Structure 1
């Protein structure tokens, strides 16, 4: 079940500007709509909405979160096996390998290449089979 926008929406378009999959549409100053086929349940829309107009899949109202408090990935390179699944699943392509000349994913280690693009969805953490990725508050990570 995808996120949804309720009648408290003021059409400010903050969600439209921040959605990584362009799943939200609507006319300015009118209630917007989320396309459940495009929504990846990352929660970005709810974190940026100033009107508490976004319902989480559970039905509760998503709370606005300051961007400085969004989560972002950190990597345990002692555990990482360089499989590259985190790079593949990232909806905003903010991860990359530390060795740009690597011919295979196993020749480099993942890192957050574009920190400001990260929406803190947690997909990278959930796909990591060895638990080498942990999400922490953005404010506790050096860019």
Structure 2
């Protein structure tokens, strides 16, 4: 299995069963049957948690947290080097700071970034990372 990084967008559409959720489900299934978990920055995980609180409530966010913990997803801490790379992407303009962490992680891990967020088109033009669009 190829290496994939999930942007928060991927899990948000998964939980809401919006366009692209089936592709996320397929990646989760593939990861559960391999030794390669999907990767996600804790910053992006926090964005998923926050979104569930705002759009539903704290209980829904906590249920989403438990579900994510049971998924084949490795949560990666935002260390100094990852944050430095994210800051470089942020300097391009037009990209949310949390999204820059997903891009930085994908670059560092030489992984494919899974998203449907159009903000990533700006980062895609750098040629640093490959994207799987939902």
Q: TM-score range by the shorter chain?
A: under 0.3
Higher relative contact order (CA 8 A, sep 6+): 2
Structure with greater helix share of residues: 2
> Given the two structures, how large is their TM-score scaled by the length of structure 2?
0.25
